[in-house]
Chains A and B, each alone.
Chain A
Amino acid sequence: MIRRAAVWAAALVALAFLALPIVAIFARLSLTRLSTSVVSDALVVSLKTTFAAQALVLAFGTPAAYVLATHRFRGRSLVVTLVELPIVLPPAVAGIGLLAAFGRVGLLHTRLPFTQAAVIVAVAFVSGPLYARQAIAAFEGVDETMVAASRTLGASRAKTFFRVVLPLAGGGLGAGEALAFARGMGEFGATIMFAGSLQGVTQTLPLAVYQEFDVDFHTALALGALLVGVSAGLLITVKWLASSSTSALRFAASSSV
């Protein structure tokens, strides 16, 4: 009995530890702070850059993942590892790498750093691989015979991709994109190094939290509450996609073509 009580106590401590900071944010939240310009500017920058970055991730990540999933070539595993590398890279390394590549003294000598486009690039760089990795697995999971069947039934490669491959991989693609979206929303380290933290231009929600917490703690709390809301919404989306893969398939099937 004593041992059993100890297990329960440990579990309760763990749960309380995880829940407490979230509860604290909302307990001390003053809603009026949500209407300050720092908050609204940061929300606009975050939404604009996140959606732009995710559009790029989907537009370039999907074909890249499909090619990697369906072709076997020399050095393929090296390429896949390279795609996955940014996932495990410390954000500071990503930031310095982006500066070294696109900075004024970088390899490509661009004027990109410290612009809003730089935020988009940073977010795409750290969140894209999460989507790509999941998308490769999703495409690899599509039965080759389905593709063959579609072709023999008169469908071109393109029609087969949109009507068979995409719907069948849809659940996995959606889950991967939700993860990438959440990671992009919370991006901090690479963005602050590569894009700076200029209100209304490059200051995203996480950057605004960092700037406000020693200026106005309650505004930082309001920003934090916003991010918790968005993150929780995404987590629920991922779980829904994973558990109801059939409805995800139906959704994908009706939304394609």
Chain B
Amino acid sequence: MARLLLDFRTPLRGFELRLTLPVERTVALVGPSGAGKTSALRVVAGLLRPAVGGVSFSGDSWNGVPPEERRVGYVFQDYALFPHMSVRANVGYGGPVGDLLERFKIAHLAEARPRELSGGERQRVALARALARRPGVLLLDEPLAALDAHTKAEVRAELHDLLRELALPTLLVTHDYEDAAALADEVGVLVEGRLRQLATPAELVARPADAFVASFTGANLLRGRAQRGRLTEIVLEGGERVFSTDEAEGEVGVVVYPWEVSIARAHAAGESALNVIRGEVASVVEVGNRVRVRVGPVTAEVTASSAERLGLAAGGLAFATFKATGTRLVPL
């Protein structure tokens, strides 16, 4: 199995990008914009020369190798298709077209210009063009960001299958954690040039390294003061008391994922291991077949049918409940 290894330091605007990252399957770099994600791709492609260190591919150093001699298939954000060339000429620019047009279902667009294509079609042309180069490494910069919500889910599924089939070392950059979790084997959270955590999507959710990683992966982050006991007891900023099976003391971040929170209209008392937060329903938003309900400081994700059964509406009173075992504590 080919292996890409990033090991370099380079100054960016206001901070230093410092990465040591082996890539064998699909690794997603996620993080806020300006964290250095695209710069990492540019270093791999040879478009940005790092101050110290570099990139190696299957043991061969790529230091000093110009971009055109690196076997890199780079899909740029907004795809960077050549506007003065047809789809066929774009794909054929880097290598033989072969059956790529048929494979990416763009054969009927062969003579079209990029400006005549939809977002999804452009993305397929960009992928076909990158693969015509017969790359050893795939670099994807926000491959789904230019798509509308409707096409995004479909394209994401296609891309997922393609990456599995290609089995190339792939470095993917996105600001959207859900895209990263859906596409990548490993996710690296990059903040201001530093990798905060590198783990599988499941591990990232189960054991977020810090408050940023937790909130970035979509968790509720509540602030409070912890005190050790049989269970750790945390007094939240709003005065509510919750319990966690994690051990901590002092100022902590309380992490709860929306899908671990249930919503009730009445409080069933008795279970001490169950945390309850009583509050006003601030918002009810449908996302696909799920409904996101905000109760006080907590967002819960419930099925559309249970939201309907509960008759949830903004302004009503509700109880958000979640288990102490599903309540993680992270340093702030």
Contact = CB atoms under 8 A, between A and B. Distances in A.
Interface string B2-46: 000000000000000000000000000000000000000010011
Contacts of B42: 148
A224 B253 CA distance: 85
B68 A154 contact: yes
A152 B68 contact: yes
Contacts of A148: 42, 45, 47, 67, 74, 76, 80
Contact of A146 (B69, B82, B95): B82
B83 A154 contact: no
Contact of A152 (B74, B78, B85, B95): B74
Interface in A122-176: 143, 145-146, 148-156, 163-164, 167-168
Contacts of A253: 84-85
Contacts of A250: 84
Contact of A154 (B47, B84, B95): B95
A146 B129 CA distance: 13
Interface residues of A, number: 20
The interface size bin for chain B is 20 to 34
Given A148-B76, A149-B74, A151-B47, A156 B68 contact: yes
Contacts of B94: 153-155
B74 A155 contact: no
Nearest to A253: B84
Contacts of B78: 145
A249 interface: yes
Interface string B66-77: 111110111010
B168 to A, nearest CB: 15
B93 interface: yes
Nearest to B139: A152
B85 to A, nearest CB: 7
B207 interface: no
Interface in B142-191: none
A72 to B, nearest CB: 16
Contact of A149 (B66, B70, B80, B84): B80
Say whether chain B's binding surface is mostly helix, strand, loop, or mixed. Answer: loop
A154 B74 contact: no
B80 A151 contact: no
A152 B72 contact: yes
Interface in B91-105: 93-95
A145 B80 contact: yes
Interface in A240-256: 249-250, 252-253
B84 A153 contact: no
B225 interface: no
Contacts of B194: none
A220 to B, nearest CB: 46
A182 B133 CA distance: 45
Contacts of A151: 45-47, 66-68
B74 A168 contact: no
A244 to B, nearest CB: 13
Contacts of B129: 153
Nearest to B113: A246
Q: Which of B42, B93, B133 has the most CB of A within 10 A?
A: B93
Contacts of A252: 84
Contacts of A146: 80, 82
B68 A149 contact: no
A141 to B, nearest CB: 12
Nearest to B92: A153
A143 B80 CA distance: 9
Contacts of A149: 74, 76, 80, 82
A148 B141 CA distance: 13
A249 B86 CA distance: 12
B77 to A, nearest CB: 8
A257 to B, nearest CB: 12
A155 B93 contact: yes
B80 A164 contact: no
Contact of A167 (B73, B74, B84, B95): B84
Contacts of B70: 152
Contacts of A164: 82
Given A148-B67, A152-B46, 5 more contacts: A148-B45, A148-B74, A149-B82, A150-B82, A163-B93
Interface of A: 143, 145-146, 148-156, 163-164, 167-168, 249-250, 252-253
11 contacts: A143-B80, A148-B80, A151-B45, A151-B47, A151-B66, A152-B67, A152-B68, A155-B93, A167-B84, A168-B83, A250-B84
